[in-house]
Every structure is written in C-alpha cells, then in structure tokens.
Structure 1
C-alpha cells in the first residue's frame, strides 16, 4: 500500500470517528472563512438593503431557529450563514440581534451562544429558567429521563462512569439493553440524542479495555438547567437541607450567579 493510500485511509478513519453531532470538516472550513462584520461594515451593508428585506431575512432566521428547536438541535453559525443569510451575511449581527429580540418578546425564548469557539446557538425557554419552575419543564418523558441523569451527574461531582447510569436506570426499571415503551432505545437516547442536543457529553475514558465512557453535563444543560432547583428536589426526596451538600450547594449558587451576569446570552 502506498504512503498516499495509507494517508487517505487514515484521514477517512479519523473522519469516521468524529463524535455524534460534531461539525463536518466542510462546515468547519466554511465557518473559518466567515469573518464577523465590523460595526461600520454592518452600517454600510444596511444602507444597501431596504427595511423590508431586513425584516424578511430576520423572519427567516427566526423560523430557522424554531424549526431546529423542535428537535433540540443547536444551530451552527456556519449553517445559518450558508442556508439562511446567504448574500446578507454582511449584516449578520443586526439580523441576529433582531431575531433574538423577536424570539424573546414573541415566543419567550432566549437566544444563547453555548459554544463561542464553534459558534453554536440554542434557544432557552424563559419560563423554564424562571423562579419556581421545574428544572426541565416538559411533558416529554425523555425530559424526565434526562433530569434523572443530570441530577446523578451533578450530585456525584460532575462526572460519572456510564455503568453508574445504566445500573441506576435498571433500578428504576428502565433497562438500557431493552426497548422501552416511552424512550425506545434507551442507550441511543442517552449517548446519541442527548449528546447531539448538547445536554450531555459522552467521552471515552483512555486506556480502558473493554472500552468505557463517562458522562458529563453538556453545554446546553449548563445554560438551561438550574442546579439549585435540582438540589432543592434532592433535598425534598431525601428530607435534607440542600445546604448539607456543601460542595453542590456552592456550585449551584455560583453557577446561578454567573448565568445571571449581563452578556450570558449572545447576539453577536
């Protein structure tokens, strides 16, 4: 086999091992070529279009976010620019600002950039993060499953081996090895669907044989789910003062304060 062929096979294998939900090389390249317009560039761009054109493009961006939100799929800036903004990319900041305002005022959804490096955006329901709301307020049974998993990870210090989750679910009569009437393929939901939605991270533990993985909170969970409310629920379940879990209590209220700081949502 020639060196060129080996290199080609190595590259193909590397691409095949990409994590579920990770950007393709083409998408990464497209985002790299996109330069955030400056304020002066945006102003010049706005002079070349009508207000009606800006409103139309803003409506398209809002619709794009809402469609993605139905599947809880984060929106990548590269996709937004390529598929929606197109020739109006030079006024991207203004359109995103208007879209964020519409999503907030009309739909009660906050636009948040969960990954500034790769420019990933999600919508967060303002009602779900308001005082007194449940950590994950939804009639979808999968949300309940997610809440259980996030709670275990949080209470155990932020990272757990996968077998801890599988054993817990078995105790709750949810066998990861069997198809569940509400969740379907439980392992796929946890390790693929929740990972693609950025609620969980499913990471291989190096040098383990057989291969093992660990689970952590994903970027979306960090923005959307209240740790202090999870701690309140744990306190009610165990009849304990939430402050008795000192480490978790400090983390919960530290993260709560940080998410309330100005600029936690991005309109860039």
Structure 2
C-alpha cells in the first residue's frame, strides 16, 4: 500500500513538472509538496523516483538550484545546450537573443554593465526600448524573463562616483548547465572567421571550465 502511494505521488509530480518545465521558471519544492499533498520534508524519497522517471523516459535531469532559499528545481537535458522540450518559434527567437548576450558577456570576460549591454545590442540594430520585429519585447526578456529563468543574473552595483544605481549582468545558473563556454566560443569564433584559440584568454577559460583538473598543466 505504501509502495503504491509513493508511486502515485511520483506520477503526480512527474506530470506537474512536465506541465511547468516549458516556462523554464524554477519549480518550488513547496509547490511540489502541495501538489503531492505531502510535507516538504517528505519530498526526498519521491523526488528520487521522479528523477529516475524523468531521466529514463524523457532525457530530463531534475536538478536543484544551488544556494537559493526556498529550494527550487530546474529541468535540463542530458545533452548539454539542448532544451529538453520542443521550442516553439517564439522561444527559438528568444534563444538567439540569449546566445548573443551570453556570448558577449563571455567574450569581454567580465560582468556586463546594463548600459554597455544596451549599447552593444544597439550596434546590432536591437533597441531595447522598442519592440523588436524579430525578438519582441527585448527589455522584458533581458530584465525579467531571462532573469526568472536563471539564464541571466542581474545585480545592483552601487558606485561612490555615480549617484545612479547600476545593474550588472552575468551568466545565470541555468546558462552554466545548458551551455558550455567552449561551445559559445566555437560558435562566436566561427561567426568572426577566427580559430577559437585566437581568443587566448577566452580559450583558456573555456578549457579551464571543461577540464578543471588540467588547469595548471
């Protein structure tokens, strides 16, 4: 009877996760507990089973987001850089914009000031203050959607020189698990007609993140 109950809870959670994964918004552990009608502290065992089902049947890894409270989970594909769910046309366009931003952040090798990001996009004929014919509401994607999805991290930075509060962008947690810096570098280098190792610092960083044990060799 207990085994059947655990199976029912797991099936319920699998359906809930699949229904919510498309938005890419992290799923709260408290919401899963409510759906399964169990205390949050009792989620550990059924979530183990849920993780096995998602991985075996859908190629999806259920992963806890580190260093956040309350606890949240995201769904990622077993294949790095490939979304576990079929993207519609709107989502594909959003991913192109995201790739441009992630590549720029990586290539400049530092967190990116919001003003600098906006100027860079403007050189590509992307005005963040206007509705773009291809990407849609770019401002909302950058300051809201990509942040909630954990693709970008947006942090306030106070300056003694500048009275205005600045916002700084960097890679979010989801980006670090869905993309590799080497893939980003290879694609960027290909667009620019260069070999990846032409960009010395970026190439070293990409190698370091892929093979951390060989960083000093």
Same fold (TM over 0.5): yes
Matched, 1:217 2:168: no
Q: Given the alignment of the two structures, is residue 103 of structure 1 paired with residue 54 of structure 2, yes or no?
A: yes
1:96-141 per-residue CA deviation (whole Å, 9 max, x = no partner) reads 11111111111111112222443321111223x17xx69xx95520
Structure 1 position 84 matched with structure 2 position 38? no
Distance 2:60 2:11 in 1: 15
**Aligned match for 1:251, one of 205, 209, 216:** 205
Cα shift readout 1:213-265 (whole Å, capped 9, x = no counterpart): 1111111111111111001112212222212323222322332346xxxxxxx
Identify which of 65, 85, 94 aligns with 2:45.
94
Q: Give, in whole Å, the separation in 2 of the partners of 1:122 and 1:85.
A: 18
Tell me, which stretches of 5 or more residues in structure 1 are unaligned? 1-48, 259-268
Work out which of the residue numbers 137, 140, 143 in structure 2 matches 1:185.
Answer: 137
2:16 equivalent to 1:64: yes
Contact 2:114 2:167 in 1 (8 A): yes
**Structure 1 residues 98 and 199 mapped into 2: Cα distance closer, same or farther (>3 Å)?**
same
**1:168 is aligned to 2:120:** yes
1:209 alignment partner, SS class: coil
Q: Is contact 2:29–2:40 with CA below 8 Å preserved after alignment?
A: no
CA distance in 2, matches of 1:203, 1:71: 22
Say whether residues 1:55 and 2:7 are aligned partners: yes
Does the CA-based 8 Å contact 1:62-1:103 persist in structure 2?
A: yes
8 Å CA contact 1:111, 1:123 repeated in 2: yes
Contact persistence 1:111–1:124 (CA under 8 A): yes
Shift of 1:51: 2.0
Choose which of 138, 141, 151 in structure 1 pairs with 2:93.
Answer: 141
Task: Say whether the 8 Å CA contact 1:198–1:218 is kept in structure 2.
Answer: yes
Following superposition, the deviation at residue 174 of structure 1 comes to 1.6
Task: Provide the rounded CA distance (Å) in 1 between the counterparts of 2:207 and 2:42.
Answer: 38
* TM-aligned CA deviation for residue 89 of structure 1: 4.5
Q: Secondary structure of the equivalent of 1:115?
A: coil
CA contact (8 A) 2:129 2:139 kept: yes
Q: Equivalents in 1 of 2:180, 2:54: separation in Å?
A: 21
Contact 1:205 1:214 in 2 (8 A): yes
The answer (yes or no) to whether the contact 1:74–1:122 under 8 Å persists in 2 is: yes
What do residues 178-223 of structure 1 show as CA deviations (whole Å, max 9, x unaligned)?
1123333211110111001111011122033333211111111111
**Alignment length (residue pairs):** 204
